[in-house]
Structure 1
Amino acid sequence: MKTSKYYRFFRKKILRLAREHEILKVLISISREKYAERLTGSIMYGLLSAIAVNVFYAPSGVYSSGATGLAQIMSSLVERFWGVHLPIAVGFYVINVPLLLLAWYKIGQKFTIFTFLTVTMSAFFIHFVPQITLTDEPLLNAIFGAIFMGAGVGYALKNRVSSGGTDIVSILVRKKTGKNVGVISTVVNLCIVTMAGLLFGWEAGLYSMVAVFVSGRVVDAVYVKQKKMQAMIITNKPERVIARIHKKLHRGVTIINEAEGAYNHEKKAVLITIITQAEFNDFKYHMRKADPAAFISVAENIQIIGRFVEDET
């Protein structure tokens, strides 16, 4: 009886806190699986970005992309003009705070909470991963650093967290324009490395531009959610197929009724839906469950004009 009494007491306290504090409500609404998925994305980005910066970029004087690169520039400028050492981690947080506030209102609260965790993981690993020189060749350092950085960013986005900084800007612009994250990120980051070239020398700036270009391509290769696919389904069980697409994939369907097969003149329905490449395996599974005999053709990398809902949170 006492245990039950204490349980009810603490449950009331927790629910009251959840009602009073919006962040607690957000966290409570996330399943254990999503916690694990997003935490993994945050840790992997932090580790991969630290390897890129400390093992490849720093030894050859190459500037990183995104908020990390801006933090490097900020740290160098503060030391040059004021003679004060500003840790990159501090500059990293200063840059990310206003962007995190923007993401909270424009992208999503869950997304922002885990992005803050990702930013923290990145700062932690960059501080503690030792600087190791594998090669003195700046071009190799730029390319392999970009591979690690791009893989970290793409893996984080794939697990529904952002690496912060310019990635938040890229997602917001993509929501408005439909452009690929990697392309947008490349444009923004080219501006950053151009600034680095003007301030600290064009040799480092040019190698940094190579790194930004490679990193953008790696992001697009890893983060496939942004790639759209059109599926055309010819079926004689349209109700079952539509129910699966609506309830399991949360996608809309366009119906073309009274289609006819030219061989046996059997009446069928033609269904058209748009999914992301990340949803393709789930789509195939649900189609096999709904109608194993359905004929399905899929077109990749299509362009969308109009509203296509993407949940970044």
Structure 2
Amino acid sequence: MDNIFEQFNRRYNFVAKLSAAFFYSIAVAVALNFFWEPGHMYSSGVTGFAQILHSVSAKYLPVTWSTSVLYFLLNAPLFVLAWFKIGKKFTFFTVVAVVLGSVMMRVIHPLTVNMDPLLCAIFGGVINGIGTGFALKNGISTGGLDIIGIVIRMKTGTSYGKTNIIINLIIVACAGFIFGWTRALYTALNIFINGQVIDGVYTKHQKMQMMIITEHPNDIIDGVQKRMHRGITIIHDAEGAYGHAEKTILITIIDRADMYDIVKIIKECDEYSFVSVSEGEKVFGRFKEQEIV
């Protein structure tokens, strides 16, 4: 399934990114209007800050600012950060996602239902997490703390979901002061679920260790280094127990997003090779992060 997704994404990259932006805009609008607002809780990130400012303006100011307008205004300065630190194409699709999100927040109206706040926290976090993770998986962001989280990940290697949870502690505090600490608990649960779902869907940042046992090491090494620019450790004089043929063991670390490319190279060079893949908990040393474009 992952290979099919990667093939489609590479062939129809522009369409895939636009589709991801549209999917996210629907997801965030449904989460906001169907679950967060009726449940009196806040989202994570800039959407949550927009909700807070909406609540403050409705309570203390003569003019009430809508969450959708505030969502766009708060994102606008962060587009500049994305433009210079991440990439121009990335920023373009992020702007598209934010604009569509703002529009859908106004277009999609909630159903009049009374739902338990616990269910609102769960469903809101899951739906928005899927939408955000799918957008990130397609190389775009949903603005706001997505941009900050990606920049921090590029500098430190910290996963996006963990960064998201840490930054959003202030939103939990605001929910406590405005709606009461019971609602703050639901807000915290929503943010935690949202972060976990994002990390489950957005897996490109995950590091994988590949061990390749082959009789044609030079072809695989040349293919990987020319097309992927990944380092490889070579272990000579290995022997297969079944046929006692001489083998070479190649070990490399890749991003999960590199999986499609490296498997294709291995199959082209040695269709009888044996490959073992395991997830890397932490990577130290010289490792080139995949560029976001």
TM-score (norm 1): 0.84
Give the corresponding residue for 1:299: 278
Shift, 1:220, TM fit: 0.9
Q: Which moved more, 1:253-262 or 1:140-149?
A: 253-262
Cα shift at 1:78: 2.3
- Kept in 2, the 8 Å contact 1:255–1:269? The answer is no
Structure-2 separation of matches of 1:84 and 1:269: 71
Indicate the SS of the match to 1:270.
strand
Summarize the Cα distance change of 1:247–1:132 in structure 2 as closer, same or farther, 3 Å threshold. Answer: farther
Instruction: Write out per-residue CA displacement over residues 54-83 of structure 1, whole angstroms, 9 at most, x where no aligned residue.
Output: 111111111111111101111222233322
Contact 1:135 1:141 in 2 (8 A): no
Partner of 1:310: 290
Which stretch shifts more, 152-161 or 298-307?
Answer: 298-307
Task: Identify the residue that residue 51 of structure 2 maps to in structure 1.
Answer: 72
Distance 2:236 2:116 in 1: 65
In the alignment, does 2:157 pair up with 1:187?
no
**Could you say which residue in structure 1 is the equivalent of 2:4?**
none
Larger Rg: 1
Cα distance in structure 1, aligned partners of 2:129 and 2:218: 42
Give 1:165's aligned residue: 144
Q: CA deviation at 1:252?
A: 0.9
Paired residue for 2:94?
115
After superposition, the CA RMSD in angstroms is: 1.9
The answer on whether the counterparts of 2:40 and 2:179 sit within 8 Å (CA) in structure 1 is no
CA contact (8 A) 1:251 1:273 kept: no
Superposed, 1:132-151 pairs within 5 Å as: 132-151=111-130
Q: Is 1:219 matched up with 2:198?
A: yes
Amino acid at match of 1:207: Y
- 1:252 matched to 2:233: no
> Using the alignment, how far apart are the partners of 2:246 and 2:231 within structure 1?
19
Alpha-carbon distance change, 134 to 283 in structure 1, aligned in 2, over 3 angstroms = farther
Change (3 A) 1:266 1:255: farther
Tell me, in whole angstroms, the C-alpha distance in 2 between the residues paired with 1:262 and 1:33.
42
The answer on whether the counterparts of 1:230 and 1:302 sit within 8 Å (CA) in structure 2 is no
What letter corresponds to residue 99 of structure 1 in structure 2?
L
Q: Is the 8 A contact 2:94 2:142 kept in 1?
A: yes
Aligned mates of 1:34, 1:82 — CA distance in 2: 45
d(CA) in 2 for partners of 1:240, 1:189:
48
Offset of 1:281 from its aligned partner?
4.0
For 1:196 and 1:171, locate their aligned partners in 2 and report how far apart those are by CA, in whole Å: 26
Distance (Å, rounded) in 1 between the aligned partners of 2:24 and 2:133? 9
Q: Which has the higher helix share?
A: 1
Aligned residues, how many?
Answer: 282
Q: What fraction of aligned residue pairs are identical, expressed as a percent?
A: 37
> Does the Cα contact within 8 Å between 1:182 and 1:220 map onto a contact in 2?
yes
- In structure 2, runs of 5+ residues without a counterpart are 1-9
Which of 25, 46, 50 is the equivalent residue of 1:46? 25
158, 166, 176: which one aligns with 1:197? 176
Question: In the aligned structure 1, how far is the partner of 2:89 from the partner of 2:235?
Answer: 40
Indicate if the aligned counterparts of 2:255 and 2:290 stay in contact, CA closer than 8 A. no
Rounded Cα–Cα distance in structure 1 between residues aligned with 2:291 and 2:76 = 22
The gaps in structure 1 that reach 5 residues or longer are 1-30
Seen in structure 2, the aligned counterparts of structure 1 residues 271 and 80 have a Cα distance that, compared at 3 Å, is same
Question: What secondary structure, in the 3-state scheme, does the structure 2 residue paired with 1:271 have?
Answer: strand
The secondary structure found in structure 2 opposite 1:203 is helix
Report the secondary structure of 1:296's partner residue: strand
User: Structure 1, residues 22-55: CA drift from partner, whole Å, max 9, x if none?
Assistant: xxxxxxxxx9822111101100100001110011
Could you say which residue in structure 1 is the equivalent of 2:76? 97
The letter for the 2-side match of 1:74 is: L
Worse overlay, 58-67 or 282-291: 282-291
Q: Distance in 2 between matches of 1:213 and 1:55?
A: 19
* Distance in 2, Cα, partners of 1:32 & 1:126: 31
